Chains A and B, each alone.
Chain A
Amino acid sequence: MAPAFHKAHKHVEFFLQQLVNGITLGGVYALVALGYTMVYGIIQLINFAHGEIFAAGGYMGVILISWLVSQGYPPFICLSVALVLAMGYCALLAMAVEKLAYKPLRSSSRLSVLLSALGMSIFLQNGLMLTQGVYDRAYPGEMVQGGFEIGGAVISYMQIVIVGITVLLLVGLNILVFKTRIGKAMRATAQDKTMSALVGINSSRIISLTFAIGAALACAAGIMVGMYYGSVRYDMGFVPGVKAFSAAVLGGIGNITGAMLGGLIIGMIEVFAAGYISSEYKDVFAFIILIGVLYFMPTGIMGENVDDTRV
């Protein structure tokens, strides 16, 4: 009996560990997915440059944190100051991108805006490559060290910080969208731009704000990914960008709760497919599930009958 118990215990341990890994990864995807879904919700644009904002956030994080650490500030201060400043920077960057690349095309066909987004993505990625170099850039070590064990699963403090910040940002976003006047204006603009403008909502400003909020979330994700894996590179935005976009589609594009859910699901599938089947096919499984869900629910998991909550 004892070996059987031991074996069962090992299975639980393995499952718990993968669960922890999945939540961490899924949280990051969720943060990036929100930017896609919010922008799509408000102007029906797939913002291809979003992944690059994520990468720019990672770089801004490494620049700020390295500088703050060299000034001798404690890790907690370094992290929070860098996070706030970098998020602000990314928000401004995304607003500038919107002003330059999308706003002038607002009345033209959706295809032109889409191409403009693709061009912006290439421009930003190459900008990062030219200014920051083609090499991996290391995050300063010793930021958040150590961890603890629960039921055989190791949870690092870094994972706690990532999940903590993610939850905080998600709660903050929900309050902003569903409890404030700005949020109400955003929801109104998403439903009907002309009508909301008639009742006095400055839709241009609201669209700009939506870009800013999405970018700030992606930026936070970029910094956390950089810290978690220890380094950033100019092309780091592409793969998470694609995954997060899939997460947004899976959850029902345009729906905030859906994007959070979609991110978590994609992260979990990846980790569990790698854990129980093969790491070789983890992306394949993530996309099989995506196709399967879209086959039966073409609008995504949360894509229906929630029109009034979308942004």
Chain B
Amino acid sequence: MKRALYLLSLLLLVSFVAVGCGGEKKEEKKAEAPKAAGIKIGSLSPLTGQYAADGNDIKNGVLAAIEVMNAEMGPLGPVTLQAEDTACDPRQAVAAANKLINEKVTAVIGAYCSSATIPAAEPLMAAKILMLTPASTNEKVTESGHKYMYRTCGRDDDQSKAAVKFTQEYLKAKTIYLVDDKTTYSQGLADNVEKLAAAAGLKVLGHEHVNQGDKDFSAVLTKVKAAKPDVFYVSLQNSAAAAPMLIQVARMGIKTKILAQDAVYHPQLMELAKKDAEGVFLTFGYTDKETPAYKKFAEAYKKLGEPGAYSAYAYDSAVAYLKAVKAAGSTDADKVKAELMKLEFEGASKKIKYKENGDSGSNYVIQVVKDGKFDNFWNPETGELYKK
């Protein structure tokens, strides 16, 4: 009897594990066993925790790039990937970077959160390893004077300019209310927008800081509702954080226009917030899914799931690095750097051409969520709507 009971309880625990039937299993591709020969790339991104969706996008983007480039690498190949988890935590990011140094990778694609990228860069730079970030938009990333630091995405100072221009010229707003979740990226960006908005003559009604991982925003939203701003600027670290915010905005009957930023650009936003995501504006790089480069990327990415915000940027980062390695004929950091500076090609995300400080320029436009999809909406350069 007693034994039967133990058996039963064990079975129950196992059944808990077997409930997995409903879970979404994304395809995971293991890097091949590391060999002495070939090129070993590392990736740093949050593979667990609340930013896991974005982190896996980056890892998958690199995998897609490896698949495309492997055939072209000739005697330098094969290319393998060592993916490490930062969990978006500064300490874990540094530990992961040190691990990649020990594993003798020659370049690192990552990280996602600026607050992980900035500290992880220190040991990598000291070890003369190239770092190409596909997603960290905080200005400081390329402004620390690191020699081997490159950025494929845009910068937050440019992003905030686009956001304020849109607020003023298209939405014709007089007042703005801001919220961020206190990360290097999200608060840095919201602070930029606040400064620019105030300088442009907008009235800043409030700027709230919530905690990372918060799901209940009712108290903040009650304040927003009472303040009645023309625009509500939402700067949260990713789409999984923004979705509950949008749900609660709709539930509380707040009709204010919402402007968000690049971090919420992810199909997950519509999956979680559903119709409450409709009509949300956000700043993101201009995306054209019809270019040959994007189609090539989409083809390679197909079996890895749906591309997220930074999949294409991670893909372009890895492709850029591998192209430079091929041109240099070696993985020596200085030789590859020289080739990277000469490189110019049409990437899946945008035209890739690195500048002296490692940036590659911003191409922020305003996008909107329409019928469950992101769509280019307004061009801050010309002040015109995109035609569909």
Instruction: Write the residues of chain A forming the contact surface with B, with a CB cutoff of 8 angstroms.
Output: 10, 13-14, 17-18, 21, 24-25, 56, 59-60, 62-63, 66-67, 92-93, 95-97, 99-100, 124, 127, 129-138, 141, 147, 149, 154, 156, 158, 225, 229-231, 233, 235, 239, 270-275, 278-280, 282-283
Contacts and interface: CB of A to CB of B under 8 A. Distances in A.
A21 B211 CA distance: 17
A272 to B, nearest CB: 8
A215 to B, nearest CB: 12
Contact of A280 (B16, B210, B213, B244): B210
B24 A278 contact: no
Given A60-B19, A99-B5, A133-B23, A231 B243 contact: yes
Interface string B1-45: 000011011101100111111111110000000000000000000
A137 to B, nearest CB: 7
A60 B210 CA distance: 29
B268 A136 contact: yes
Contacts of A137: 23-24
Interface stretch (B127-135, B216-224, B318-326): B216-224
A295 to B, nearest CB: 25
A135 B52 contact: yes
Given A132-B20, A136-B240, A138-B274, A25 B222 contact: no
B272 A138 contact: yes
A96 B244 contact: no
B271 interface: yes
A136 B244 CA distance: 11
A18 B219 contact: yes
A230 B271 CA distance: 10
B243 A136 contact: yes
Contacts of B247: 229-230
Contacts of B208: 278-280
Closest 8 CB pairs of A and B: A131-B20, A274-B219, A134-B52, A21-B218, A96-B9, A96-B12, A132-B23, A63-B22
B341 to A, nearest CB: 37
Given A136-B50, A231-B243, 10 more contacts: A14-B222, A25-B218, A131-B17, A132-B23, A134-B47, A137-B24, A154-B253, A158-B251, A235-B49, A275-B223
Interface of B is mostly: helix
Contacts of A17: 218, 222, 225, 252
Interface residues of B, number: 55
Nearest to A240: B215
A281 to B, nearest CB: 9
B22 A66 contact: yes
Contacts of B275: 141
A283 to B, nearest CB: 7
21 contacts: A21-B219, A56-B16, A63-B21, A132-B22, A132-B23, A133-B25, A135-B268, A136-B240, A137-B23, A138-B272, A147-B253, A149-B253, A154-B251, A154-B253, A229-B247, A230-B243, A230-B244, A230-B272, A279-B220, A280-B182, A280-B211
Q: Which of A10, A100, A229 has the most CB of B within 10 A?
A: A229
Nearest to A11: B226
Residue among B13, B18, B211, B219 with the highest chain A CB neighbour number at 10 A: B219
A273 B222 CA distance: 13
A239 to B, nearest CB: 7
Nearest to B52: A134
A135 B53 contact: yes
B355 to A, nearest CB: 35
Nearest to B25: A133
Nearest to A146: B251
B53 A271 contact: no
A21 B218 CA distance: 6
Contacts of A272: 219
A233 B222 CA distance: 26
Nearest to A24: B218
B139 to A, nearest CB: 23
Nearest to B274: A141
Nearest to A99: B9
B209 interface: yes
Contacts of A97: 13
B24 A270 contact: no
Contact of B13 (A13, A62, A96): A96
In this complex, which of B215, B243, B275 has the most chain A Cβ atoms within 10 angstroms of its Cβ? B215
A93 B272 contact: no
A147 B251 CA distance: 8
B144 interface: no
Nearest to A225: B215
A136 B267 CA distance: 12
A13 B10 CA distance: 53
B16 A239 contact: no
A63, A133, A137 interface centre (most CB from chain B within 10 Å) = A133
B118 interface: no
